[in-house]
Chains A and B, each alone.
Chain A
Amino acid sequence: MTDELVTIEVDGRELKAKPGTMLIDVTDAAGINIPRFCYHKKLSVSANCRMCLVEVEKVPKPLPACCTPVNEGMKVSTRSPMALGAQKGTMEFLLINHPLDCPICDQGGECELQDVAVGYGSDVSRYSEAKRVVPQRDIGPLIATDFTRCIHCTRCVRFGAEIAGVRELGATGRGEHMTIGTFVEKSVDSEMSGNVIDLCPVGSLTAKPSRYKARAWELTQHDSVAPHDSVGSNIHVHTRNNRVVRVHPKENESINEIWLSDRDRFSYEGLNSEDRLTQPMVRKNGEWQEVEWQEALEFAVKGLQSAAGSDGDQLATLVSANSTLEELYLAQKLTRGMDSGNIDHRLRQSDFRLDGNDSPVPGLGITIQGIESLDAALLVGSNVRKEQPIIAHRLRKAAKSGAKVSFINPLWIDLHFEADQFVSTPAVMVDNLASIAKAASAKLTGNLAKLVKAAEVSETAKSVAEQLKSANNGVIMLGNQAAAHPDYSLLVVLASAIAEATNTSLSYIPALSNSVGAALAGALPHRGPAASLVEKCGANAQMMQSKPRKAYLLMGAEPGFDFWDPSLINSALDQAECVVALTAYHSESLASCADVMLPIAGFAETSGTLVNAEGTWQSFNGLVKPQGDARPAWKVLRVLGNLLDIDGFDQNSSDDVLEELKSHAAETAIDNSVSTKTAGELNSSTEGLYRIGDVPMYASDALVRRASSLQRTNSAEPAAVRLSANQAKSSDVEEEETLVVVQDGNRAQLPLIIDPRVPDGAVWISSALPGTEKLGGQFGVVTLEKA
């Protein structure tokens, strides 16, 4: 297409546009309103609602603006008697079968059909015959349906086919008998399914968790940032009476476009969970007691001082990377102020051998939007679709426009785009990557050079190396399962060497909403604020647990669910003299080992900043009052700092904390460079049955684990032992049998499921689920016994 613009005339206004652009895009850009239902800027044009009919000069019939390309000299009128007549007629037809139940419809007040009916509908209906009624359908716990209201725009169907990549909803029947539904009686399980709620122009698809909770006009809209994955999707939080009622996406083309993952959309339910800790609690003589803040803080300070006052190394601080930048900064300042270097946010990592030579600020290294223009991508240890749905959506766009995507994973994953998957047990994953390194003739030294030399170059490895080499814009991404891999350091060095040899870039997909921020804030044992190496290197998360300290400070983390090895952290905390937990929830797993629980504000209750995977700093305000006596964590840390007589704890707002951090780290960008060419010995083995413990999508943090609707979806499966059919045969166990899993002396009884996604020699037991919270590490040798 040429770059020359054509001139058209709309309602007497002269507009310039690229030839071939659809008329509705041109008028939208010029601010001329044409009513529409089926047209959506992010979806393909289907032109089936006929609401956007306009009159074009020299054309005898009205034309739909959404599928009429502009031509030189075209004269359009959107408000001529012919156009208005056509629009009014369409509106009348649409309203024939639309029920008059606006008063009980959740869409009422923000309904496109209502809005357009005000402008183009007539005030009296000429239709007195029977209206169509469609039977109710249950499509899961997230989306409420009422297909009687459907006007057949098929936006939801097109969303499934074009954006979510799973055609879960479809239209069956014709004319008046056309209905939308799932093809077979099942629920809609896409990880982005909630977006059809926003797309639906009427009240056919509405949000089930917020059903009947509020009318549109009662809600106050606030801007915020989603608190789960590392995308940092921009959201609108809608509140009423100091409660979060629902969450909608906020358009940001460079981050989440107009989409939002279900986890970000529905997790707010966890805020109002009965588990919320609303009053500080102290354990006295083995009994938990609710106390005032003053007493709880003094208790905590006394405990910390007596345990770690004289020897700073006895203090260990473990923080969740879902905390805000301000909280993480103050936590590391407090820890270092107590003369301890023991602070870490990498709770789900077990291999820290690379520390010091690791990437200073690991992140995507490219922009989220930039993922779309990749030519080739190799993802190592990543179930990207479940872990970071928006990044997966961008990858899907890249794959659709020709990018070659391959995965090296311990499990087969369900994908919505074409990709090669190399699935093997964790130990063989390293070999697979080494094989690609050999094919790409990557330069390595020491152990890894030997490993690569010994690797066999398979045809697939050759083709992947070739794809990466020939790509102008290629990337090797390390995912969340790679970070939890017992040989993470080997994977990182191999990946960085391959990246160097193939002239692609190394990229990390951070797990949590502020993983990048944690590195910037200095919540690491070997790096301070702005990721500068510190002189006195503290103990990493693993060492803090394997060599128990006397005092622990936990922030936003639950021992049984947020750690790589729940049994290890539990035993460490049991031996400690003083465990201070800053937590929004009163959980069993904390109550059994903590000494003080300080209630902190959750998502939407505190102001703060999150840094997403591409390194964008996004600040937000507190939107609702924290429940009960809970306080924002940065305030709690500030007061703890004061009571412990540490200098530099005199900030009056989270903005002050942010300013202080910015003076160190404002210029620090994502830096994925790895300064070594070798790594240690292989930790993982091919001996015995090897556990693969992923973190299920709806178990990733304390908030989402308490979001009741998400927990009822099919994606929130209960804990189970999963084996391939072959492996089950050789282990002599049968489907649905209850097995006892033994890992490092810890036992758990779980049902067996035969799952073809698991490679032979491995057993898939998800972590962070009730039932697995007493087991050992996410990866490791396990034995199965019959119950």
Chain B
Amino acid sequence: MTVFKNYIKSLFLLELLKGLRLTGRYFFAKKFTVQYPEERAPMSPRFRGLHAQRRYDNGEERCIACKLCEATCPALAITIDVEAREDGSRRTSRYDIDLFKCIFCGFCQESCPVDAIVETRVYEYAFEKRGENIMTKDKLLAVGDEHESQISADIAAQAKYR
């Protein structure tokens, strides 16, 4: 009986048609492949991409050098040096994130009491030379300045869950 069943299946190419049915379904269904870089996939406001440092509206940098991000970083990717600025406020004289070490866990962002260090939606970056993997304070602030509107919108969207 089994032999007969198998004979019919192979005679009429039933297995093949079964497979072709799946192929056909996807052939006519709506496509989800994105034509990167012309098209982009949608992103969550929780996306954890390239780091940025933010400023207040008056242009003052937010970071107060509390070193909580440095302490919480599981990959030890953050290095901070502190100095009192001339006006006596506590500021970083060095704030480096080593992107080779960073595992993009977002703990730095979580720990920051003043929302200074954030992870942006930026994920398109590449290094050509050694040393470029170190995000210095200037680079971080530049990223922040460039994407501030997106960053603040994302933080606002997340505010009620924090």
Residues of B within 8 A of A214 (CB): 82
Interface string of A215-256 (1 = CB under 8 A from B): 101100000000000000000000000000000000000000
Contact in complex: B83, A212 (CB < 8 Å): yes
- A108, A212, A215 — which one has the most chain B CB atoms within 10 A of its CB? A212
Residues in B neighbouring A213, C-beta threshold 8 A: 82
Which residue in chain B gives the minimum CB-CB distance to A212? B82
**Residues of chain A within 8 A of B141, CB atoms compared:** none
Q: Which residue of B lies closest to A101 (CB)?
A: B64
Given A211-B84, A212-B82, A213-B82, check contact A103 B114 (CB 8 Å).
yes
| A104-B90 in contact (CB<8A) | yes
Q: Does B67 contact A (CB under 8 A)?
A: yes
- Kindly identify which residue among A212, A217, A218 contacts B65, using a CB–CB cutoff of 8 Å: A212
Task: Using CB atoms, name the residue of chain A closest to B82.
Answer: A212
Interface pairs A-B: 5 shortest CB-CB: A103-B66, A104-B90, A212-B82, A103-B113, A104-B64
A739 CB → nearest B CB, Å: 40
Contacts of B82 in A (CB 8 A): 212-214
Query: How many inter-chain residue pairs (CB < 8 Å) link A and B?
Result: 25
Given contacts A103-B113, A104-B64, A212-B65, 18 further A-B contacts (CB under 8 A): A103-B64, A103-B66, A103-B68, A103-B114, A104-B65, A104-B90, A108-B66, A212-B82, A212-B83, A212-B84, A212-B90, A213-B82, A214-B82, A215-B66, A215-B67, A215-B71, A218-B67, A218-B71
Closest to A108 in B: B66
Set of chain A residues within 8 Å of B68, measured between Cβ atoms: 103
A104: B residues at CB distance < 8 A: 64-66, 90
For A217, give its contact among B71, B90, B113 (CB under 8 Å): B71
User: Whole-angstrom distance from the CB of B123 to the nearest CB of chain A?
Assistant: 29
Interface size on B, residues (CB 8 A): 12
Residues of B within 8 A of A212 (CB): 65, 82-84, 90
Name the residue of chain A whose CB is nearest to the CB of B89. A104
Distance of A108 Cα from B113 Cα, bound (Å): 13
Can you list 7 A-B contacts (CB < 8 A)? A102-B66, A104-B65, A108-B66, A212-B65, A212-B84, A212-B90, A218-B71
Question: How far, in Å, is B125 (CB) from chain A's closest CB?
Answer: 29
* Chain B 53-91 per-residue mask, 1 if CB under 8 angstroms from chain A, else 0: 000000000001111100100000000001110000010
Chain A residues in the interface with B (C-beta under 8 A): 102-104, 108, 211-215, 217-218
Bound state CA distance, A748 and B114, in angstroms? 57
Which residue of chain A is the closest to B113 with respect to CB atoms?
Answer: A103
| B102 CB to nearest chain A CB (Å) | 20
- The CA of A294 and the CA of B82, in the complex, are separated in Å by 39
| Chain B min CB distance to A570 (Å) | 40
Name the residue on A nearest B90 (C-beta).
Answer: A104
Tell me the nearest residue of chain A to B84, going by C-beta: A212
A211 / chain B contacts, CB cutoff of 8 Å: 84
Enumerate chain B residues within 8 angstroms of A218, measured Cβ to Cβ: 67, 71
Residues of B within 8 A of A (CB): 64-68, 71, 82-84, 90, 113-114
What residues of B have a CB within 8 angstroms of the CB of A215 in the complex? 66-67, 71
A215, closest chain B residue (CB): B67
Closest to A213 in B: B82
List of B residues within 8 angstroms of A103 by Cβ:
64, 66, 68, 113-114
Q: Give A102 to B68 CA distance when docked, in angstroms.
A: 11
For the complex, what is the distance from the CA of A104 to the CA of B90, rounded to whole Å?
Answer: 7
Most chain A beta-carbon neighbours within 10 Å: one of B66, B84, B113:
B66
Contacts of B84 in A (CB 8 A): 211-212
Query: A218–B64 Cα gap in the complex (Å)?
Result: 17
Using CB atoms, name the residue of chain A closest to B114: A103
Residues of A within 8 A of B65 (CB): 104, 212
- CA distance in complex: A102, B90 (Å): 12
From B112, which residue of chain A is reached at the shortest CB distance? A103
User: How distant is B109 from chain A, measured CB to nearest CB, in Å?
Assistant: 15
Distance in Å: Cβ of B86 to nearest Cβ of chain A:
13
**Chain A residues near B67 (CB, 8 Å)?**
215, 218
Q: Chain B's nearest CB lies how many Å from the CB of A631?
A: 28
- Of chain A, the residue at the smallest CB distance from B85 is A212
Q: State in angstroms the CA–CA spacing of A88 and B155 once bound together.
A: 33
Residues of A within 8 A of B64 (CB): 103-104
Complex Cα distance, B140 from A611, in Å, reads 53
Please measure, in the bound complex, the distance between the C-alpha atom of A217 and the C-alpha atom of B72, giving whole angstroms: 11
Shortest distance in angstroms between A639's beta carbon and chain B's nearest beta carbon?
Answer: 37
Within the assembled complex, what's the spacing in Å between the Cα atoms of A418 and B84? Answer: 43
Contacts of A217 in B (CB 8 A): 71
Contacts of B66 in A (CB 8 A): 102-104, 108, 215
Q: How many Å from the CB of A249 to the closest CB on chain B? A: 25
The smallest C-beta distance from B78 to any residue of chain A, in angstroms, reads 12
What is the CA–CA distance of A102 and B66 in the complex, to the nearest angstrom?
8
**Max chain A Cβ within 10 angstroms of own Cβ: one of B64, B65, B83, B90:** B90
Minimum distance in angstroms from B151 CB to a CB of chain A:
20
Q: How far apart are A766's CB and chain B's nearest CB, in angstroms?
A: 33
- Beta-carbon nearest neighbor of A217 in chain B: B71
Q: For residue A103, which residue of chain B has the nearest CB? A: B66
Residues of B within 8 A of A108 (CB): 66
Closest A residue, CB atoms, query B64: A104
A733 to chain B: closest CB distance in Å?
43
Q: Which single residue of chain B is at the shortest CB-CB distance from A218?
A: B67
A212→B71 CA distance, assembly (Å): 15
Complexed CA–CA distance, A214 and B82 (Å): 8
- Give, as a whole number of angstroms, the nearest-CB distance from B54 to chain A: 15
Tell me, in angstroms, the Cα distance from A218 to B114 when the chains sit together.
21
Q: Complex: how many Å from CA A212 to CA B92?
A: 10
Chain B, residue nearest A106 (CB) = B90
Question: B124 → chain A, closest Cβ, in Å?
Answer: 32
Min distance, Cβ B64 to any Cβ of chain A, angstroms: 5
Residue of B nearest to A241 (CB): B81
What is the bound-complex CA distance between A212 and B113, given in angstroms? 17
Which residues of A lie under 8 Å from residue B114 when comparing CB positions? 103
B61 vs chain A, min Cβ distance (A)? 13
State A366–B110 Cα separation when bound (angstroms).
Answer: 58
Smallest CB–CB gap between A208 and chain B, Å? 10
> In whole Å, how far is A140's beta carbon from the nearest beta carbon of chain B?
16
How far, in angstroms, from A731 to B91 measured CA to CA in the complex?
Answer: 56
Give complex CA distance A151, B98 in Å. Answer: 41
Q: For residue B71, which residue of chain A has the nearest CB?
A: A217
A108 to B90, CA, bound (A): 14
Task: Find chain B residues with CB under 8 A from A102 CB.
Answer: 66
Q: How far is the CA of A583 from the CA of B74 in the complex (A)?
A: 43
C-alpha gap A103/B83 in the complex (Å): 14
Question: A215 vs B69: C-alpha distance in the bound complex, in angstroms?
Answer: 12
A103-B117 Cα distance, complex, nearest whole Å:
14
Distance in angstroms between the alpha carbons of A104 and B65 in the assembled complex: 7
Query: What is the CA–CA distance of A215 and B90 in the complex, to the nearest angstrom?
Result: 12
- Smallest CB separation, B73 vs chain A (Å): 13
A285 to B71, alpha carbons, bound, how many Å? 54
CB distance from B155 to the nearest CB of A (A): 18
Complex CA gap A103/B71 in Å reads 12
Q: For the complex, what is the distance from the CA of A187 to the CA of B114, rounded to whole Å?
A: 34
Which residue of the partner chain B has the closest CB to A136? B88
User: Which residue of A213, A214, A215, A218 has the most chain B CB atoms within 10 A of its CB atom?
Assistant: A215
- Nearest A-chain residue to B111, judged by Cβ: A103
| Bound complex: CA A214 to CA B67 (Å) | 9
Q: How far is the CA of A102 from the CA of B61 in the complex (A)?
A: 18
Q: How far is the CB of A275 from chain B (nearest CB, A)?
A: 22
CA distance A103 to B67 in the complex (A): 8
State A470–B52 Cα separation when bound (angstroms): 77
Residues of A within 8 A of B113 (CB): 103
